[in-house]
Amino acid sequence: MGRDVRFLPALLLLSAIALGDVRNCTCDPGSAESMAKRECGLCREAEKEPQDTPVFFLKDINPNKPHRWLALPRVHVHALADLPPAQRLALWTAAIAKAQETWGDQWGLAFNADVRRTQCHLHIHIGKLLQDVETKDFVLVDSPADIPVPHDGGGIWIHPAGGKLHVHLGEDAPETLLMR
């Protein structure tokens, strides 16, 4: 019995990750009915921000992620590719600044794939990168302006490396590489 209870939180987390899929998002700020849906929660938060706010931050409300922040654009978009380049650059730049402020050089940013997200509104997870998660599959870039866009709805995770950035593409749930 005690052993089963210990595995319950892990099972719930895996279920939430497996059930997340926002490819058919229907959040519409003009429709109170659509905005009441669970997957529109971050859209509701964006609506609370002033129109001229390019990027804002929220503390992750999941009690299992007490050290996480989220960076969000004010505009309602679903995919990074849908965000105009200047706004995408502002989002990455602000997220990196918040990450550095919070975690020094041990930060990581993660954007989950469409099939693993539970919220429609585009958001980047900010946290401390777990140790020993580095892989050899990355793109080395000089600055946020050089971060490629995953056009296939895939995930992306980014971390600092020797004054540059390692950008990892193609993982569905890269937020799992950040400290909870």
3 state SS of 134: coil
Report the CATH number at residue 105.
3.30.428.10
- Counting the structural domains of the chain, the total is 1
**How confident is the prediction along the chain (180 residues), in pLDDT tens digits per residue?**
454 444 434 333 333 434 567 778 889 999 999 999 999 999 999 999 999 999 999 999 999 999 999 999 999 999 999 999 999 999 999 999 999 999 999 999 999 999 999 999 999 999 999 999 999 999 999 999 999 999 888 999 999 999 999 999 999 999 999 999
The model carries a pTM of 0.87
- The Cα-based distances of 58 to 68, 100, 137 in angstroms read 9, 16, 30
User: Tokens 């895939």 correspond to what residue?
Assistant: 154
Structure tokens given for 33: 């009915």
**Enclosing domain of residue 150:** 2-177
